Amino acid sequence: MILKAGHIDLKLFISGGVLFVLCLLSAVMFDLPALMLLPVLMCIAFLFLKDIRIAFYMLIFTLPVSFQFMEKYDFPDEPLMILNTVFFLFFCLYNQKRIQMKGILLHPMVISVMLTLVWLLITILMSKNTLLSFKFLLKKSWYIAPFFLFPLILFRDKQVIIRSFQWLFVSFFCIVLIVLIRFSAVGFAFDKVHDPVQPFFQNHVMYGSMVSIVVPFIVAAIFLSRKLSVQWLFSLAGFVIFLFAVYFSYSRAAWAAILFAMLCYAAVRLKLMHYFMLAFYVLVFGMVVWLSGKNTYLSYKPKFEKTIMHESLEDHILATIQGTDISSAERYYRWIAALRMSSDHPVFGVGPNNFYDHYKPYTITSFKTWVSRNPERSTTHNYFLFMLVEQGVPGMLLYTSLIFIIFYYGQKVYHRQDDRFNKIVVMSALCAIAAIFINNFFSELLETDKIGSIFYLSIALIIAIDTRQRMTSISQKASFS
């Protein structure tokens, strides 16, 4: 497979020099300084084409540092997503006979992801607003290609896995330090948690989620590093700092995610993860049936005057237990609206990216809070309900099945590995997905650049290791025959 080319030849060097001189003269003659950017852009493009892994590493590096530009675009990672999508298509065309894509696409986990995309296409055709749904599809496409399909090939190389983590860790480590230093300036006050995470994260929940998700990979780096080496010490320091960051994110979902990742580790080791997930699904389904029966949920309506944003962590936790926390109360408001809404659109939903424009008539006034105006246009605050409302019952079941298949098959992949590196990496990916699953239970984080990217990268990591191990076994059997 062609990942990088050879040395720069003399003709190419001369051509580049001539282009630079021409752009310089044109910029002076026509008073267009922007023309000077052309050689720079061409050099960057040439550098990426010489080794397309550079563009991938740059994308990974920019994930933590990206911010919202003009309240619509994620910058600079979104342009790099598009660039990597183009490179992936180019790479497949150039190496179509060598990458054995057919074998990859028949992998059970790949099929599960692809089925969710097929149903997404169907719901777009049946959407209440096809244009909004099509915009959602475009963004989804440059999530799937660079973070899922491309890594399926790139992650066959052990060094690419290591370098990808290193680029992500260095970038995110710097951001976490910046946030902690800024937060320490206000005494780590609970009611001041929002500003220190800006502009890299929209809110403290997003920040806490990403920190909790990266922790399993840092633990993997500790176990894979030589004890007392620079890398081991750096990883250990990162682990301690990231745990502090999770705590001081004041995100309950992030705290729960760390605990769930630890349970995932134990369950996978004991080959019980699939039973654990089935029990989780049964428990959640049972609670929904119980609350909806005889309208039991109505007895849990919040008191409008008592649902407030608390200024201390102690009050916040106590309010969560008592049900008077504003964010919890608002979630009940959205969840009930989503369930009522789904009864009118059970099969295809209202269409991707259409929840906000249709949910208000389905809300119940008695569950309304003082933040229910929803100026930020947020959605259900639960990914299962998000899929149910926008993509119908089949969409929700496909997501439910995808999570189960990831853990069921990922557990098998873990226990099939003989190589220590592979076992640790697969386990870290499963624990990261477990952390994402819990964070996503209270939000729609798979549609964000920072969380959705790691979700698909983690799945690709498990599949790539599995396919590499299978190919090695086949080649070894062939050599003995």
Helix, strand, or coil (residue 117): helix
* Number of domains present in the structure of the chain: 2
Higher-confidence residue of 126 and 141: namely: 126
Higher-confidence residue of 328 and 125: namely: 125
Res. 45 pLDDT band, cuts 50 70 90: low
pLDDT per residue over 179-233, tens digit each? Answer: 999 999 999 888 888 899 999 998 888 999 999 999 999 999 999 999 989 999 9
In a domain, 252, yes or no: yes
Helix, strand, or coil (residue 73): strand
Q: Are residues 96 and 187 in the same domain?
A: yes
Q: Are residues 144 and 235 in the same domain?
A: yes
Encode burial over 109-121: b for 16+ CB neighbours within 10 A, e otherwise: bbebbeebeebbe
pLDDT, position 7: 45
pLDDT, position 302: 60
In a domain, 288, yes or no: no
Q: Are residues 183 and 268 in the same domain?
A: yes
Among 129-143, 274-288, 360-374, 377-391, the range scoring the smallest mean pLDDT is 360-374
pLDDT, position 177: 96
Residues with Cβ within 8 Å of residue 363, at least 6 apart in sequence? 333, 336, 337, 372
pLDDT, position 165: 95
Q: Are residues 115 and 188 in the same domain?
A: yes
In a domain, 369, yes or no: no
pLDDT per residue over 239-293, tens digit each? Answer: 999 999 999 998 889 999 999 999 999 999 999 999 999 999 999 888 888 876 6
Q: Which amino acid is at 481?
A: S
What average pLDDT does the segment 112-132 reach?
94
CB atoms within 10 A of CB 2: 10
Q: Are residues 191 and 245 in the same domain?
A: yes
In a domain, 271, yes or no: yes
| Residues 202 and 71: beta-carbon distance below 8 Å | no
Name the token pair of 57.
Answer: 């590493």
DSSP 385-438: HHHHHHHHHHHHHHHHHHHHHHHHHHHHHHHH--SHHHHHHHHHHHHHHHHHHH
Q: Are residues 44 and 86 in the same domain?
A: no
Q: Are residues 255 and 203 in the same domain?
A: yes
Residues with Cβ within 8 Å of residue 379, at least 6 apart in sequence? 334, 355, 356, 386, 444
| Residues 117 and 144: beta-carbon distance below 8 Å | yes
The domain containing residue 96 runs over which residues? Answer: 73-280+381-480
pLDDT, position 477: 57
What average pLDDT does the segment 306-318 reach?
51
Q: Are residues 93 and 236 in the same domain?
A: yes
In a domain, 332, yes or no: no
Q: What is the chain's mean pLDDT, rounded?
A: 84
**Residues pairing with 75 in the sheet:** 67
Alpha-carbon distances, residue 238 vs 175, 214, 246, 277, 298 (angstroms)? 12, 10, 12, 30, 46
Q: Are residues 194 and 259 in the same domain?
A: yes
Whole-model pTM: value is: 0.88
CB atoms within 10 A of CB 159: 8
Q: Are residues 91 and 214 in the same domain?
A: yes
Helix, strand, or coil (residue 473): helix
In a domain, 170, yes or no: yes
Q: Are residues 128 and 237 in the same domain?
A: yes
Q: Name the DSSP class of 374.
A: -
pLDDT, position 5: 42
| Residues 253 and 267: beta-carbon distance below 8 Å | no
In a domain, 327, yes or no: no
DSSP E strands: which ranges in 179-238?
none
In a domain, 293, yes or no: no
pLDDT, position 321: 45
Whether 50 has a pLDDT exceeding 90, the answer reads no
What average pLDDT does the segment 60-69 reach?
90
Q: How far, in Å, CA of 430 to CA of 253, rounded?
A: 18
Whether 413 has a pLDDT exceeding 80, the answer reads yes
| Residues 325 and 355: beta-carbon distance below 8 Å | no
Among 22-31, 334-343, 353-362, the range scoring the smallest mean pLDDT is 22-31
Largest CA distance in the chain: 80
pLDDT per residue over 425-447, tens digit each? Answer: 999 999 999 999 999 998 888 88
Q: Are residues 18 and 100 in the same domain?
A: no
pLDDT per residue over 152-194, tens digit each? Answer: 999 989 999 999 999 999 999 999 999 999 999 999 888 888 8
